[in-house]
């Protein structure tokens, strides 16, 4: 099961949709792990996109690579991590033109970071499509030390930089591509509840 229905939340929390083909001269698709399935679904809706598509895929241990390659996109790249692919992504965006369609799918961390790159390159966030698939782990920023902790699965959690016990807020920054983590025991030091898995 790669689809998850996030509970309704506050206005700053991103809402993900379902990728749909849109008119454009070029199509940039960025996915990690189970996000590959959303790209496959998208291609099934309109196979003609692939003639002008550039797929950037980070498998994270999954094996959808062959299926994606079989779509025959104009360009296909498989990277070992998002960090490894980000220079390529920036180069592609720097040379892109108005009319480029961006499709992001997979984990929130991947979509958020890639969305930020596309925004920096001049695409309004409202016209970047997203579809969540796979892990519900969150990318969290510690509001105190500013360090980012990737793949947070519990609330509260320990900041991987400063070690404070942080609770997970739904307040989300597109610019940081992260949710906000705030010290949970500031008013009662040492009183930290047992971590609970997110959405349970």
Partner 1 sequence: MSAAPQKAKPGAEQLAVRVSAVVPLNDLVTRFEFQRTDGQPFPTFSGGAHTVVTMQDDGRTRLNPYSLMSDPADTSTYAISVRRDDQGRGGSLFMHTRVKQGDEMTITYPVNLFSLDLRARKHLFFAGGIGITPFMSMIHQLEQSNGNWELHYSVRTEALGTYVDELKYKFPTKVHVYYDDQSQSIPLETLLDGQPLGTNAYVCGPKGMIDWVHATASAAGWPDAQVHSEEFLAPAPGKPFEVRLCKSDKTIQVGENESLLEAIERAGVEAPFLCRGGACGQCETDVVSYDGEFIHRDHWLEPEQQAGEKIMPCVSRFVGKSLELDR
Partner 2 sequence: MTIQFNEETFRDDYSFYNSDWAIKRFPFPFHEDSYMYSVNMEQHRGGPKGSVYEMRFDVDEHYVSEMRDRAMVLADDPLRCQSLPHMTLAGWDLLELIMVSKSEDYPDLFELHRDGNQWRWINKPLGIDDTFTFMDETTLPYGPMEYITRQAQGDFCVLDQRDEMLWMDAGMVTTQADWSLDFDIGMNFFEWHAPVPLAHEMGIFKRALKFLLNIQQGAPARRLNWTMTVNPLLDTSPENYHKWGIQKTTLTPENIGSKQHLRVELQSFFRLPRSNALVFPIRCYLCSFQDLMTVPKWGRRLHRVVRDLPVELATYKGFIDNRPMMLDYLEQFDDGLPTSRGVFPDLETEPPLTKA
Question: What does the binding site for partner 2 look like in residue numbers (CB under 8 A)?
Answer: 10-13, 141, 143-144, 146, 164, 169-171, 173-176, 180, 182-183, 186-189
Q: Which is nearer to partner 1, 24 or 59 (CB)?
A: 24
- Location of structure tokens 């390159």: 121
Closest distance of CB 93 from partner 2, Å: 17
Our finding on whether 127 is near partner 1 (CB under 8 A) is yes
The strand pair at 26-32 and 100-106 is best described as: parallel
Residue 180 binding result from partner 1, partner 2, none, given CB thresholds of 5 to 8 Å by partner type: partner 2
N-to-C CA span, the chain: 16
Closest distance of CB 92 from partner 1, Å: 10
Our finding on whether 123 is near partner 1 (CB under 8 A) is yes
Return d(Cα 12, Cα 158) in angstroms, integer. 23
Return d(Cα 117, Cα 105) in angstroms, integer. 15
Q: Which is nearer to partner 1, 101 or 141 (CB)?
A: 101
Q: Which is nearer to partner 1, 23 or 61 (CB)?
A: 23
| CA dist 7 → 58, 79, 81, 103, 163 (Å) | 27, 31, 28, 23, 29
- Location of structure tokens 């690579």: 65
Q: Which is nearer to partner 1, 49 or 178 (CB)?
A: 49
């Amino acid at each position: 099961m790669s689809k998850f229905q996030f509970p309704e939340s506050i206005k700053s929390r991103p809402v993900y949709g379902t990728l749909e083909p849109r008119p454009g001269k070029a199509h940039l698709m960025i996915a990690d792990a189970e996000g590959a399935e959303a790209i496959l679904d998208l291609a099934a809706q309109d196979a003609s996109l692939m003639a002008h598509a550039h797929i950037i895929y980070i498998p994270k241990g999954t094996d959808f690579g062959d299926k994606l390659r079989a779509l025959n996109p104009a360009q296909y790249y498989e990277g070992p991590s998002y960090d490894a692919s980000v220079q390529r992504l920036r180069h592609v965006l720097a040379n892109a033109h108005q009319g480029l369609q961006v499709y992001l799918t997979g984990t929130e961390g991947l979509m958020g970071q890639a969305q930020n790159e596309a925004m920096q390159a001049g695409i309004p966030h409202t016209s970047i499509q997203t579809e969540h698939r796979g892990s519900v782990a969150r990318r969290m920023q510690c509001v105190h030390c500013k360090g980012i902790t990737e793949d947070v699965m519990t609330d509260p959690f320990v900041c991987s930089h400063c070690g404070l016990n942080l609770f997970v807020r739904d307040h989300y920054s597109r610019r940081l591509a992260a949710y906000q983590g705030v010290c949970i025991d500031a008013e009662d030091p040492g009183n930290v509840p047992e971590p609970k898995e997110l959405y349970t």
